[in-house]
Chain A
Amino acid sequence: MRLIPSKTSSSSSKHIALTRIRFGIIAIVVALIYYWSIQGMHFEGLQSTAGTVSRSILQGFLHPDWSFVYLAEGEDLLRGLLDTLIISILGTVVAAITCIPFAFWASSNMSRHLATSGSGKIILSIIRVFPEIIVAILFIKAVGPGSFAGVLALGIHSIGMLGKLYSETIESIDHGPEEALIASGANRLQVLRYAVLPQVIPQFLSYSLYRFEINIRSATTLGLVGAGGIGTPLIFALQVRNWNRVGIILLGIIFLVVMTDLISGWVRKRII
């Protein structure tokens, strides 16, 4: 704390004292927060069956149920993973298209009034706050369980983040081409088509792919509430404590996530 030991003026020692007081207050507040949190965490002790359950979980993960990878009658791992992949592709596409008007709405350089872009930004952040699982539950109630609810949930939830990233891209474009076009008499639509879009499309695609990587991870759990994909067989396997099956599904999820990350990362590198 003693950064300036040579200066023994009263102001520096006062400064040190102030820093110490502030540090002390922060420490007390943090300690209180933790005290409060631990109060709420009532640990009932291990279940009497915890030992055997852990052992069977470990057994299940070490011996995954390979027969589940492909079943003739359907509802197997491969189809579940394919569903998950499709849900996240469609969800990302829905969001990538729907968020464009939101993005232009929220960009401060696209409207004259600050209130316009400000309200757009607020709407986007409200959309971002809802966890996709909650959105999925609402859509299941509206359109019934299945992949469609999953697609809608990811589509709506992703608008929040994609809209924000898109609008930041729009705000950072080079205004040279735009001004040149306006000067030569282009209308607003032409400016949009020939000056704005060529600059933002590669970045839009890259962000959409990034969101796709996130959506793959979310889509694996959407099935836990009934919105299609690999989560549906997963929750069944968890409910009946079929750990061998949970093990193979977990392997499948890891495989899918790693593969899509590799491919999407490669494509992203080529786009920009």
Chain B
Amino acid sequence: MRAPLPTPSQPSPPVVDIQPPLRYKRYAGWILLILIIVMCSIQTKVTPYQLITGLPQMGQLLKEMFPPDWSYIPTIWAPMMETVQIAILGTTIGGIIAVPVALLCSYNIMPNRFIALPVRMILNLVRTIPDLLFAAIFVAVFGIGPFAGMLALVFFSFGIIAKLTFEAIEAIDPGPLEAMTAVGASRLQVIRFGVLPQALPYFMSYLLYTFEVNVRAASVLGLVGAGGIGLLLDRSLGLFRYDRACVIILLTLVIVLIIDYSSTWIRRKLL
């Protein structure tokens, strides 16, 4: 899902002293890791003891969730569908915006790095901003409702799809592009007849993949007021109606699984 940022190649540090035997180095690494963990748990006062004392409470919560209040399904059906609609539109619009940007920052289409590099940096910045934060900002501008959630997903999916697509474009076979340039095709013709046929299956596959991610994201957007099922979940939890919360969670689970399986099936057919 959220892919790591591409790291610029680091200059290797000059070797100054003799390398100690590998075994000590490995032990030092493990000890450092354990030290970090201990320091972290001291700082936040998170201890395994707390975990053990918290478990019965967790069990109590699960007990209150069952039996689920199945009569709640007709009420949550419309918001659930709204969640899917938000995800569909957000992914599509984000994907459409991502195409020209992905072309702009592929080195093999846009050899001018003064354009490609800043565009890539902007893409990296967009991807560091969490979707819920986008949603909270758009709720402030456009008011509470699914439109703010859709816009949040537009930006969120734009970041993912543009990155994945430009990497796919850079990996395409340069042969057809060179052949077309050699016979005098314009830049646009090269993109239309050389790049598009090769990159389109990948693009569609990334679009579907992002859609899967977005359905999950859309199900929690309602927590900040951006439409979808999240608002009802928040409300049932606030009213301590855990049996209703359980129905919402189960229905979300079923919808997400159905979408995941169908999307994976289509993706396998595409590639």
Contact A37 B10, beta carbon cutoff 8 Å: no
Q: Shortest Cβ distance from A252 into chain B, in angstroms?
A: 11
- In A174-217, the 8 Å CB interface with B consists of 210, 213-214, 217
B128 and A38 contact, CB distance less than 8 A = no
Give Cα A241–Cα B140 distance, bound, in whole angstroms.
8
- Of residues 62 to 109 in A, which have CB atoms within 8 Å of B's CB atoms? 82-83, 86-87, 89-90, 93
Give the Cβ gap from A73 to chain B, nearest Cβ, in Å.
18
Q: Which residue of B lies closest to A212 (CB)?
A: B4
Determine which of A33, A41, A141 lies in contact with B147 in the assembled complex, contact meaning CB atoms within 8 Å: A41
User: Smallest distance from the beta carbon of B74 to chain A beta carbons, Å?
Assistant: 17
- With an 8 A cutoff between CB atoms, is B95 at the interface? no
Closest Cβ of chain B to A1, distance in Å, is 13
Which chain B residues border A234 with CB–CB below 8 Å?
Answer: 133
Q: B253: nearest residue on chain A (CB-CB)?
A: A129
Q: Are A54 and B141 in contact (CB under 8 A)?
A: yes
Question: By the criterion of a CB under 8 Å from any partner CB, how many residues of chain B are at the interface?
Answer: 63
Q: Which residue of B lies closest to A61 (CB)?
A: B137
Whether the pair A130, B50 counts as a contact (CB closer than 8 A) is no
Question: Which residues on B sit within 8 Å (CB–CB) of A131?
Answer: 216-217, 219-220
Looking at the assembled complex, report how far the CB atom of B232 sits from the nearest CB atom of chain A, in whole angstroms: 12
Interface residues of B in 206-235 (CB under 8 A from A): 216-217, 219-220, 223-224, 233-234
- The distance in angstroms between the C-alpha atoms of A125 and B256, with both chains bound, is 11
In the complex, the answer to whether A228 meets B132 with C-beta atoms within 8 Å is no
Taking the closest CB of chain B, its distance from the CB of A216, in whole angstroms, is: 9
Of listed A57, A90, A134, A217, residue having the most chain B CB within 10 A: A134
Q: Flag if B36 contacts A224 (CB, 8 Å).
A: no
Which of B2, B89, B137 lies in contact with A214, CB distance below 8 A? B2
Question: Are A129 and B58 within 8 A (Cβ)?
Answer: no
Once the chains bind, are A147 and B46 in contact (CB under 8 Å)? yes
Q: Which residue of A lies closest to B249 (CB)?
A: A134
Partner of A33, one of B88, B146, B242: B88
Instruction: Provide the main secondary structure of the chain A interface.
Output: helix
A224 vs B221: C-alpha distance in the bound complex, in angstroms?
11
With an 8 A cutoff between CB atoms, is A138 at the interface?
Answer: yes
Cα(A93)–Cα(B38), bound, Å: 11
Distance from A67 Cβ to chain B, minimum over Cβ atoms (Å): 21
For residue B234, which residues in chain A have a CB less than 8 angstroms away from its CB? 137
Residues of A within 8 Å of B141, CB to CB, are 47, 50, 53-54, 57
Interface size class of A (residues with CB under 8 A): 35 or more
Q: Contact between B51 and A152 (Cβ–Cβ < 8 Å)?
A: yes
Quick check: is B68 within 8 A (CB to CB) of the other chain? Answer: no
From B60, B85, B140, B256, A36 is in contact (CB under 8 Å) with B85
Contact string against A for B residues 75-109, beta-carbon threshold 8 Å, 1 for contact and 0 otherwise: 00000011011101100100000000000000000
**CB atoms of B92 and A141 under 8 A apart:** no
- Report how far A225 CA is from B137 CA in the complex, Å: 16
Residues on B lying within 8 angstroms of A by beta carbon are 1-2, 4-5, 7, 10, 36-37, 40-41, 43-46, 50-51, 54, 57-58, 60-61, 81-82, 84-86, 88-89, 92, 124-125, 128-133, 136-137, 140-143, 145-147, 150, 216-217, 219-220, 223-224, 233-234, 237, 242, 249, 252-253, 256-257, 260
20 further A-B pairs in the complex, CB-CB below 8 A; given A148-B45, A265-B4:
A33-B88, A37-B84, A40-B82, A42-B145, A47-B142, A54-B141, A86-B44, A90-B37, A133-B132, A134-B249, A138-B61, A147-B46, A152-B54, A213-B2, A238-B137, A241-B140, A253-B130, A253-B133, A254-B129, A266-B7
A-B contact pairs, 24 of them (CB 8 A): A33-B88, A37-B85, A37-B89, A43-B147, A44-B143, A47-B142, A57-B137, A83-B43, A131-B220, A139-B58, A141-B237, A143-B54, A147-B45, A147-B46, A151-B44, A214-B1, A214-B2, A217-B130, A224-B223, A235-B224, A241-B140, A246-B137, A250-B129, A265-B5
